[in-house]
């Protein structure tokens, strides 16, 4: 029994580790190596050029603009999504008419709402992006959103949506929020229903109104779940590749006003003359930004915990 | 995990109207607050439910309309049902083939992920050996970095291995990139299971391997189902990896690639009905499975965040 232990451990770890080592760790290490070369894929040989690719990135206006778009996504999308998620979860769980003895009550049909709100979460980003691309159809007569606006008498608001450089990124953000709110409603509902009713009763006895209850009872008790949700949402916002690639005009357009770093990396490597070295350097830059985000989030959430 | 709402939780102490805390007027005020808030919350909830549900229904009913009808009356219901769209999308736009490819890829890769992920997680959770911590952090560290970062080297690793543009290659890549979260979750799950049953099996002469498959895997079923659902959905919806690693032969494409291509092609050909039929083909099976297993799906997808 004893001497079989190591054979068993090796037997069980061999395949997972081999797969993981070849397809995840080795590319990860190679990325740093490729980022130091001028490799374009056209020639089999690559030359080490030191940090030239990084220098190129630092002076590239397009890279900074794309990174700025990522930062905007990282700040706005999680805030709006989590706010909607919390609001709806609170409405579902505590917003209902109190029935006789119950001190807090969910609205009727909360199960139904949760099922519907969660729909986008099970659909692929591809489906969502293409569907909304159709809804945002810029034509004033054929585009659904424009037709709806006209029908309700807001014809002056009709836009070319994704075709407008000022609006395009906001339109994509709105879809990202639309796609993710349901997840947080379900997540926060689960968190809220685990808060003991006695706490709500105590707050009620002290004369707290519902909005006070929300900010002084529910939110502090959920702060851990909210912080986790923030990290998850941040990772989605940091990527945004599929949303932008599928929805935007000309892959990041109009005028590169929706371009994000992952899409820029993809275009650099697989569209524009295969500048692999440069794309790899962008990958390293992305890693740095992601780690920075993770460290900052952890710092901030720790400070929050002391406050409460 | 429970998704019960609070009003379903029994045992809250009965409270009479006009209890010491609330004066008569205070009670009346609070009751009206309840009413207003109730109407208010229902209004917002209904609006959001419509905002989520209507676009999906719109895609479905547009899939039965002719392309001209879709453009001239984007909002109207179909006057006569045009089932051609569906058969066109299924055969001419090859959505049928992409559908089958996706099922093959996701089927094998989820099974592989769960098998290899649980095996590694079990060993890491239950056995002490040198390098245990190092291997664990190697796996878990994979959750922190974005896949897009390694796109270039991954492209060449799969090219050199000769698995680029093949379904088995895609399956292996999916498994490898699903391992970090699966190992992370399953390791903590195996740690929560009692050790006594496995010890009894070992004393009775079962091998470690047999103990794992016949004792531990059945005990870990709830965790395996949760993370299995998580992986099925994640891999079914994967877009970036096939886009880069499976861009060759269209006969090997998966659904997400086919849809993205359909959106571009139908734009040129003006076959909007076909596009909406394609969207519906990709949408309906997942929604159907979700509605049937909604509790498990919600639990599976939120499990990671609650852990």
What pLDDT was estimated at residue A90? Answer: 86
What is the SS3 assignment for B130? coil
Q: What is the dihedral of CA B200, B205, B209, B210, to 10 degrees?
A: -80
Q: How close B72 comes to chain A (CA, Å)?
A: 6
Contact B42 A242 (CB under 8 A): no
Using a CB-CB cut-off of 8 Å, the residues of chain B touching A99 are: 7
Nearest CA in chain B to A101: B14
What pLDDT was estimated at residue B254? Answer: 92
Residue pLDDT, tens place only, B43-67: 888 999 999 999 999 888 888 887 7
- CA nearest neighbour of A33 among A295, A283, A206: A283
Mean pLDDT of A56-61: 87
How many alpha carbons lie under 13 Å from residue B283 in its C-beta half-sphere?
A: 24
- CA nearest neighbour of A109 among B290, B41, B10, B284: B41
Q: Who's near A175: CB < 8 A, 6+ residues apart?
A: A128, A129, A132, A243, A247
Could you please report the per-residue DSSP string of A192-219?
HHTS-HHHHHHHHHTT--HHHHIIIIIH
Element (H, E) at B206: none
Using a CB-CB cut-off of 8 Å, the residues of chain B touching A1 are: 202
Q: How close B209 comes to chain A (CA, Å)?
A: 7
What is the SS3 assignment for A105? coil
Contact A11 B209 (CB under 8 A): yes
Using a CB-CB cut-off of 8 Å, the residues of chain A touching B76 are: none
Q: How close A102 comes to chain B (CA, Å)?
A: 6
What pLDDT was estimated at residue A306? Answer: 37
Residue pLDDT, tens place only, A175-208: 999 999 998 998 898 888 888 888 888 888 888 7
Look-up: residue for tokens 């075709």? Answer: A163
What pLDDT was estimated at residue B34? Answer: 57
What pLDDT was estimated at residue B306? Answer: 56
Contact B305 A131 (CB under 8 A): no
What is the SS3 assignment for B183? helix
For residue A85, the Cα-to-chain-centroid distance in whole angstroms is 14
Residue pLDDT, tens place only, A88-134: 998 888 766 565 555 566 777 788 888 899 999 889 899 999 999 98
Portion of chain A with pLDDT greater than 70, in percent: 91
- Angle (CA) A99-A102-A106 rounded to 5° is 75
- Are the beta carbons of A19 and B119 closer than 8 angstroms? no
Give CA–CA dist A80/A230, Å, rounded: 11
Q: Supply the pTM of this predicted model.
A: 0.85
Contact B74 A143 (CB under 8 A): yes
A74-83, A170-179, B142-151: which range is least confident on average? B142-151
What pLDDT was estimated at residue B26? Answer: 42
Residue A194 CB-density burial (10 A; 0-12 exposed, 13-18 middle, 19+ buried): middle
Cβ neighbours of A287 (radius 10 Å): 18
- Are the beta carbons of B262 and B91 closer than 8 angstroms? no
Domains parsed from chain B with CATH numbers: 17-83 (no CATH), 93-270 (1.10.3720.10)
- Angle (CA) B50-B54-B56 rounded to 5° is 130
Contact B298 A280 (CB under 8 A): no
| DSSP type of residue B78 | P
The C-alpha R_g of chain B, in whole angstroms, comes to 26
Find the CB nearest A124 among B15, B138, B282. Answer: B282
Residue B25 CB-density burial (10 A; 0-12 exposed, 13-18 middle, 19+ buried): exposed
- Are the beta carbons of A283 and B150 closer than 8 angstroms? yes
Pair of tokens at residue B287? 């929604």
Residue pLDDT, tens place only, A211-228: 788 888 888 888 888 888
- Are the beta carbons of A168 and A254 closer than 8 angstroms? yes
Dihedral sign, CA of A32, A33, A39, A40?
A: negative
Question: Could you report the average pLDDT of every consecutive run of 10 residues in chain B (307 residues)?
Answer: 38 39 42 62 88 91 79 72 80 87 95 96 91 92 84 90 92 95 92 89 89 91 88 89 88 90 79 86 88 82 65
Nearest CA in chain B to A15: B116
What pLDDT was estimated at residue A104? Answer: 63
Q: How close B116 comes to chain A (CA, Å)?
A: 6
**Domain covering A60-307, topology:** MetI-like fold (1.10.3720)
| DSSP type of residue A161 | G
Q: How close A166 comes to chain B (CA, Å)?
A: 24
Contact B21 A31 (CB under 8 A): no
A127-141, A145-159, A239-253: which range is least confident on average? A145-159
Give CA–CA dist A232/B179, Å, rounded: 18
| DSSP type of residue A50 | T
Phi, psi of A37 (to 5 degrees): -115, 170
- CA nearest neighbour of A160 among A260, A71, A249: A249
Look-up: residue for tokens 């851990």? Answer: A224
Using a CB-CB cut-off of 8 Å, the residues of chain B touching A232 are: 305
Mean pLDDT of A11-28: 94
- Are the beta carbons of B147 and B241 closer than 8 angstroms? yes
Contact A28 B153 (CB under 8 A): yes
pLDDT band at A289 (very low <50, low <70, confident <90, very high): confident
Using a CB-CB cut-off of 8 Å, the residues of chain A touching B3 are: 111, 114, 186, 189-190, 193
Find the CB nearest A127 among B44, B233, B259. Answer: B259
Pair of tokens at residue B187? 């390791």
């Amino acid at each position: 029994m004893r001497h079989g232990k190591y054979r068993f451990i090796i037997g069980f770890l061999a395949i997972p580790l081999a797969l993981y080592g070849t397809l995840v760790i080795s590319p990860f290490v190679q990325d740093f190596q490729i980022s130091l070369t001028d490799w374009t894929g056209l020639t089999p040989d690559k030359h080490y050029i030191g940090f030239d690719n990084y220098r190129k990135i630092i002076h590239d206006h397009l890279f900074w603009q794309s990174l700025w778009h990522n930062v905007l996504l990282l700040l706005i999308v999680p805030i709006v999504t989590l706010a909607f998620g919390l609001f709806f979860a609170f409405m579902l769980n505590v917003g209902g008419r109190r029935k006789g003895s119950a001190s807090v009550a969910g609205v009727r049909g909360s199960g139904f709402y949760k099922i519907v709100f969660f729909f986008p979460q099970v659909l692929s980003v591809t489906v969502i992006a293409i569907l909304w691309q159709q809804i945002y159809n810029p034509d004033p007569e054929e585009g659904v959103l424009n037709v709806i606006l006209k029908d309700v008498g807001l014809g002056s608001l009709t836009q070319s949506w994704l075709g407008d450089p000022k609006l395009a990124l906001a339109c994509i953000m709105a879809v990202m929020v639309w796609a993710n709110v349901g997840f947080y409603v379900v997540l926060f509902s689960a968190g809220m229903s685990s808060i003991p009713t006695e706490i709500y009763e105590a707050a009620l006895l002290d004369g707290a109104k519902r909005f006070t209850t929300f900010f002084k009872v529910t939110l502090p008790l959920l702060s851990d779940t909210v912080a986790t949700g923030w990290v998850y949402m941040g990772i989605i916002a940091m990527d945004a590749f599929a949303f932008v690639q599928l929805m935007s005009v000309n892959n990041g357009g109009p005028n590169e006003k929706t371009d994000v770093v992952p899409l820029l990396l993809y275009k650099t490597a697989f569209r524009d003359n295969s500048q692999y070295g440069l794309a790899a350097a962008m990958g390293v830059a992305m890693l740095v930004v992601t780690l920075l985000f993770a460290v900052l989030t952890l710092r901030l959430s720790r400070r929050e915990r002391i406050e409460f | 995990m429970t998704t019960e709402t609070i009003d379903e939780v029994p045992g809250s102490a009965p409270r009479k109207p006009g209890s010491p805390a609330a004066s008569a007027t205070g009670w009346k005020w609070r009751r009206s607050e309840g009413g207003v808030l109730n109407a208010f919350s229902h209004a917002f909830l209904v609006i959001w439910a419509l905002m989520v549900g209507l676009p999906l229904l719109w895609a479905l009913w547009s899939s039965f309309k002719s392309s001209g009808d879709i453009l001239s009356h984007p909002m109207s219901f179909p006057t006569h049902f045009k089932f051609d769209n569906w058969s066109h999308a299924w055969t001419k736009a090859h959505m049928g083939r992409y559908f089958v490819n996706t099922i093959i890829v996701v089927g094998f890769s989820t099974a592989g992920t769960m098998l290899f992920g649980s095996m590694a997680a079990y060993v890491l959770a239950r056995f002490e050996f040198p390098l245990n911590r190092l291997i664990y952090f190697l796996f878990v560290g994979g959750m922190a970095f974005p896949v897009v970062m390694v796109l270039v080297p991954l492209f060449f690793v799969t090219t050199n291995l000769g698995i680029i543009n093949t379904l088995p290659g895609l399956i292996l890549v999916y498994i490898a990139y699903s391992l970090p979260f699966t190992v992370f979750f399953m390791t903590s799950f195996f740690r929560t299971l009692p050790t006594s049953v496995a010890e009894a099996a070992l004393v009775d002469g079962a091998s470690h391997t047999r103990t794992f498959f016949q004792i531990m895997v059945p005990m870990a079923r709830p965790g395996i189902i949760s993370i299995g659902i998580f992986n099925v959905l994640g891999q079914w919806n994967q877009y970036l990896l096939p886009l880069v690693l499976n861009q060759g032969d269209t006969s090997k494409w998966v659904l997400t690639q086919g849809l993205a291509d359909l959106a571009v092609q139908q734009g040129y050909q003006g076959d909007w009905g076909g596009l909406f039929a394609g969207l519906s083909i990709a949408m309906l099976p997942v929604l159907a499975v979700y509605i049937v297993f909604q509790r498990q799906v919600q639990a599976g997808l939120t499990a990671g965040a609650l852990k």
